[in-house]
Chain A
Amino acid sequence: MTKGFFPKLAAGNIRKNGKTYVPYMISSIITIAMYYIICSLSVNPGLNNMMGAEPLMYMLNLGTWVVAIFSVIFLFYTSSFIIKRRKREFGLYNILGMEKLHLAVTMGWESIITAAISIGAGLILGIALDKVMYMFFLKIMEAAVPLGFFVSADVIFKTVILFAVIFFLIFLNSVRQISLAKPIELIRASGEGEKEPKTKIVMAVLGALFLGAGYYIALTTKNPLEAFILFFVAAVCVIIGTYLLFTAGSIALLKALRKNKRFYYKRNHFISVSGMIYRMKQNAAGLANICILSTMVLVMISTTSSMMVGMNDTLAARYPNDLCIYGFYGVDDREAIADVKALQKEEGISVKDEMDYRFLSFSAIQDGDEFTAVDDTGNLNLVGKVSGLVFVPLEDYNASMGENESLENGEVLVYANRDDYGYSKMKVGDETFSVKETVDEFMGNGITAANVANTYFVVTGDMDVIEELYEYQRGVYGDAGSEIRHYYGFNTDASEEEQIEFYNHMSTIGLAESKAEGRIGFIGLYGGFFFIGVFLGALFIMATVLIIYYKQISEGYEDKGRFEIMQKVGLSRSEVKSSIRSQVLTVFFLPLVTAGIHTAVAFPILKDLLAVLNFTNVKLYLIATAVCYLVFAAMYVIVYIFTSRTYYRIVKR
């Protein structure tokens, strides 16, 4: 064969298969661009030098890996559609006298052309969008936007290598598939009658169990600490359950419907049930993928965006005062607070809303109204029962809150940060208190706000009681026990820079905290979460769109034959159309609806998880979730309209 024959043939093939190749290349280009961007951001020196950048850089690095792994899976998946569609073509070449080796060379050239175009265009798009993303990022991080482009040869190199390897692996896989098959099999591949899928009852039941277990965990976990551990378990259960139910469960259900003669032999049911059995066989895995990707997008964007929006509330919970210091009661507290007050005068910083109280906090295992300190922190069975207890003397409570409460001996006031405390008594160790009242407000406390467990704030009569409790928990925990602390906090009108400077001075005195300083870390963390959420969300949406597109196209070719036969047998055009539409709609919107249910069920546990991160604005989170779902659904519908148009064009022709 003459020189240049194969490259020409390969280029022609790609052009002729445009309907399948163009979306494949577009998605490759976008994937490559996304990888380049996230990789470039993770090494961007401008970001590295920014304050609060560590958690962010960490997340970007993690994101790079996620995108890389995603790219491998996703490109393999989409390329398999192409190979499936083209088997017949390769079979024909084979019969016309091209050897398998020649086919491999042709495919090699096709891969080289595809890879070159995708990687080239992907890098150009990536470099162009990198700056936009960087600016978007800086906007989130509330930082100034510097001028100039950042282009790293290192990152370009990494991107080229990664995707060259991916394309090469895809090529090897295609060659393997083609070389294993006989030409006659290749020719028949797309027209061959599909076997009816087997019913896999065990898998269907397992799927229901997994999903049920995941849902149960998500719905019943109340304790945030437990939620933290169990969320992952629940998510894995739901993912496994979704796959099993989509693949085995759907077919088992449809076959059960078919067994019911009365139901099955009805005009609408007859065609749609039998059609769906085949559709589900071919599409179940893809639909489960779409469903899980959609759920991830929804969860990621709704949580990260509400965290971002609600950041100031969270910040206020974590840092009740602009500046504060924690001293050890009876050790250095008087001196420390006096030093801070002296420093205030010295620096001339304005002071308002002062808060000054002593407290003892330790964790205990709760059983109804009984609290016991147990030195067995590694025991996971107890995790769900761990509660935090914070004791404050009445005198300090009245002073800080401006109240004038009084307590009899053995009486306490109780404030619960998350749950309600519904008991009239409270037993801690050997002591029994009677609850005079549960109060609605309590002075904030950053250290306990950072604690993930349910926490009860208890106002006791005087310091003697607190010292007895101190001895009790020291007796159990030994050196790991808590000290009685003294909190002094105040607000100020000073600028954030001044606050941070004051904080730096205060840190030499003792354990100090600054809201302004914390804010930078928060922005780094939440901004990073938000950015990654949006970034991966966009990537997943693109994947969803493409999977849907390919599904519709490949189904279109298969439905065409069926469509014609039914018309000949006496189904009118409009009846066929409506029957196919209802099937396509079911297949199409099943993942969206399931993703909606998953997201809704995940809501309670995610709410608890967010509470661990000090985000407690449930209403905001609810709104964010609803908005995300609606936006996502709208995008889904648009994709559906576009792809179903292509679909009908194929079927009608």
Chain B
Amino acid sequence: MAILEAKSLQKIYTTRFGGAKVQALSDVSFSVEQGEYVAIMGESGSGKTTLLNILAALDRPTRGEVILDGRRLSSVSDREISAFRRDNLGFVFQDFNLLDTFSVQDNIFLPMVLKGSQFREMKRKLAPVAAKLGITDILEKYPYEVSGGQKQRTAVARALITGPKLILADEPTGALDSRSTDGLLKVFNEINRDGQTILMVTHSVKAASHAGRVMFIKDGRVFHQIYRGNSTVDQMYQKISDSLTLIMTGGEDDD
């Protein structure tokens, strides 16, 4: 069953004085199945971020439709949108986006508190998530006291705690060193194995090589995609590298 469907998404930005129009997405369609782990790759300016913002309901498409778990995002009113987002989506950002004013634990609780959950329920849900992510020891600390990898795991915990239908990750390894990157990718593999659907936007071939499917975006369209099938991570890495080379060297002809 498809949990997320994007249908012919188009996004056109108009510059402030109504002059030049910039087409960020021209025609993007794809779907993500329940429990899938999808990576979206593309160069800078290919429309990745625009796509993610539209999927996250942070922005609206000029044309086309996003359907999350059978519900059209365009049918969600502006007033409901924040509640909808925090009930259904979990976010992991490149720069963590943790609040300095909260301890690690309170940062993780933030979406639960916003939902209006009871403290006891939050506490109960936190324990397994924190244990899985290996951050039980730092719950009382503040973001400025912990490492980048720990910050990102905190952000993952914050995304997971509400039990979202979909986790959207925007360059989650972008600000991490290679060890922390390995750690985070392992975490993503584990939560995906537990049934969590993940959609990740990335530049990193290494990060993408862990996904079950990789979509390549170029010039505002889905240009190509690779399924893992039975490949190992290393084989996947090779496939992605090859595809990228192909795309870079004018894959236009293959279209």
Contacts and interface: CB of A to CB of B under 8 A. Distances in A.
A564 B91 CA distance: 13
Contact of A265 (B82, B83, B109): B109
B116 A568 contact: no
A568 B91 contact: yes
Interface string B74-108: 00000101110110000101000111111000100
Interface in A431-467: none
A265 B86 contact: no
B106 A193 contact: no
B122 interface: yes
B92 to A, nearest CB: 10
Contact of B58 (A193, A267, A566, A568): A568
B227 interface: no
A270 interface: yes
14 contacts: A262-B119, A265-B122, A270-B109, A274-B102, A562-B99, A562-B101, A565-B97, A565-B98, A566-B110, A568-B91, A569-B97, A570-B83, A570-B86, A572-B83
B101 A569 contact: no
A572 B91 contact: no
Contacts of A309: none
Which are the 5 A-B pairs with shortest beta-carbon distances?
A: A570-B86, A193-B144, A572-B82, A193-B100, A265-B119
Contact of A267 (B100, B106, B116, B143): B116
A267 B119 contact: no
B89 to A, nearest CB: 8
A272 to B, nearest CB: 11
Given A193-B143, A195-B144, A569 B114 contact: yes
Given A565-B99, A569-B97, A261 B119 contact: yes
Contacts, number: 66
Contact of B79 (A270, A567, A571, A572): A572
A121 to B, nearest CB: 37
Contacts of B2: none
Nearest to B143: A193
Interface string A192-215: 111110000000000000000000
A569 B81 contact: no
Given A275-B101, A277-B101, A569 B86 contact: yes
B226 to A, nearest CB: 30
A24 B97 CA distance: 34
A567 B116 CA distance: 16
Given A193-B142, A196-B142, A274-B106, 12 more contacts: A265-B119, A267-B113, A274-B99, A275-B101, A567-B82, A569-B91, A569-B114, A569-B158, A570-B82, A571-B114, A572-B82, A573-B82
Interface string A244-274: 0000000000000000011001110010001
Contacts of A573: 82
A194 B113 contact: no
B111 interface: yes
A87 to B, nearest CB: 18
Nearest to A558: B100
Interface residues of B, number: 28
Nearest to B82: A572
Interface in B142-161: 142-144, 158
Determine chain B's interface SS by DSSP, over half rule: helix
A569 B154 CA distance: 13
Contacts of A328: none
Contacts of A421: none
A278 interface: yes
Interface in A271-303: 274-275, 277-278
Nearest to B96: A565
B131 to A, nearest CB: 21
Contacts of B100: 193-194, 278
Given A275-B101, A575-B82, A570 B143 contact: no
Contacts of A568: 58, 91, 93, 97
Nearest to A574: B79
Contacts of B116: 267
Interface in A179-198: 192-196
Nearest to A576: B82
Contacts of B79: 572
Contacts of B106: 270, 274
Nearest to A268: B113
A110 to B, nearest CB: 32
Nearest to B98: A565
Contacts of B111: 569-570
Interface centre among B114, B119, B142, B144 (most CB of A within 10 A): B114
A566 B99 contact: yes
Contacts of B98: 565
B113 A570 contact: no
Nearest to B56: A568
B154 to A, nearest CB: 12
Interface in B47-89: 58, 79, 81-83, 85-86
A137 B158 CA distance: 66
Contact of B101 (A262, A265, A278): A278
Interface centre among A193, A566, A569, A573 (most CB of B within 10 A): A569
B156 to A, nearest CB: 13
A420 B124 CA distance: 68
A431 to B, nearest CB: 74
B234 to A, nearest CB: 34
A629 to B, nearest CB: 34
Nearest to A276: B101
Contacts of A267: 113-114, 116
